[in-house]
Amino acid sequence: MESEIQAAHPLPVSFYLQPTPVVAPRLLGKLLCHRTPEGMAAGIIVETEAYLSGEDPASHSLLRKGEQWRPKITDRNWPMFGPPGRAYVYFVYGRNWCFNIVTGPDGVGEAVLVRALEPAAGIELMKSRRGTDNLRLLASGPGRLTQAMGIGAEQNGADLTTGDLTVAEGEQIPEQRVVQTTRVGIKLAADLPLRFYLKDSPFVSRR
DNA sequence: CTCTGGATTGAC
DNA sequence: TCAATCCAGAGG
């Protein structure tokens, strides 16, 4: 018999067509699920960041052209310019994978970085992938999250509305539980308030 | 081809 | 506070 989590229906493409700064907070409380040969793992999204297609030099979709920042498709960022509801996975700092959800219309380079999860299912699998029993350290941070969920290069470009890696409806989040602040770990556009997290969640990444 | 720096993490 | 570690992007 299937668990409720496995039976949960993925969010439709239309969800990801809302403006990216709207999608990012609305992803809080949703369930990220990954079925692999090792088993199923899932977590509640508790922290996200929006990356935009204009006026956002921190976004991978914009590259410097002289004095200007312009949209440019490259070998790394191409999924950001593809259809909404797909995964954009990239490697950073020589060790970590980061998982993004592509938003906005096909051809527009925007995405939401998923920075932290509250483990919800397949916790033993997540523990073994991470090499720790500490629940708080399983998926609180973009690199930890991808390691715990088994997300890497194989998932780059994956359709999150069908298949083994999905985002499903979760608990409803009251507006007052959503905190909006500045993004983590960037130098450019560091003042833009495009980070969102669940107030009082112990699973939000530190800082 | 070479060089630079990064949407991080974990150990010190 | 800082090194690890590798690759994308840029420039020659």
| Chain A residues 94-113 within 7 Å (CB) of strand C | 94-95
C1' of nucleotide C10: residue with nearest CA: A64
A138-170 core/surface letters (b: 16 or more CB in 10 A; e: else): bbbbbbbbbbbbbbeeebbebbbbeeebbbbeb
Q: Is the CB of A78 under 7 A from strand C?
A: no
> What does the block give as tokens for A176?
């007052």
pLDDT for the residue numbered A36: 97
pLDDT for the residue numbered A67: 83
Q: Which strand C nucleotides have any atom less than 7 A from protein CB atoms?
A: 4-10
pLDDT digit string, tens, across residues A4-34 = 555 579 999 999 999 999 999 999 999 999 9
Which DSSP symbol is given to A77? T
**CA–CA distance, A35 with A29 (Å, rounded to integer):** 19
CA–C1' distance A106–B5 (Å)? 30
> What does the block give as tokens for A201?
């969640």
pLDDT tops 60 at residue A56: yes
CA–C1' distance A75–C4 (Å)? 25
Helices (H), A89-190: 123-130, 142-149
Q: Is the CB of A67 under 7 A from strand C?
A: no
Contact call for residues A32 and A60 (beta carbons, < 8 A): no
pLDDT for the residue numbered A2: 47
Minimum CA–C1' distance nucleotide for A73: C9
**CA–CA distance, A92 with A202 (Å, rounded to integer):** 25
pLDDT digit string, tens, across residues A81-95 = 999 999 999 999 999
CA–C1' distance A180–B5 (Å)? 28
